[in-house]
Structure 1
């Protein structure tokens, strides 16, 4: 008989219990990864909505006023506005 396999029933039971624990833990890791991925997707949607709202405020109030109102740096606001297609004349 090979030494690779448990030789008595108690050892087999321990091996099965360990394998089940490992399988359960792996399943929990997979579930947590799926939750993390969903949270990342929701965060990306929220970040995009925030950027759109900030650009809309820049369009209405200008970069400097928006910077004072929301505390976002003028540099970041300008970049978001340019990426959204606002013209330089719309930024001030």
Structure 2
């Protein structure tokens, strides 16, 4: 768990405000979502950008693999010995 900070609530116009420490790394004007869960308040960024994974260089890691076409992706049904699994009904 990270560091903890104390902050005081103060009156700002007709609202209450909470001054957050600069050490949290928040930027002025950032929108936040505040919700209450079982007597605790949770503050999160309003729109968290989704992490993107760059897979463009993965193919170079396994040069022995060749790209396959859709037609090559068809698989034949392999025979199974169902009796070895304790089932002889083929299901």
What band does the TM-score fall into relative to the shorter chain?
Answer: under 0.3
Higher RCO (Cα < 8 Å, 6 or more apart): 1
Normalized per residue, which structure has more helix?
1
The TM-score, its normalising length taken from structure 2, stands at: 0.26
Normalized per residue, which structure has more strand?
2
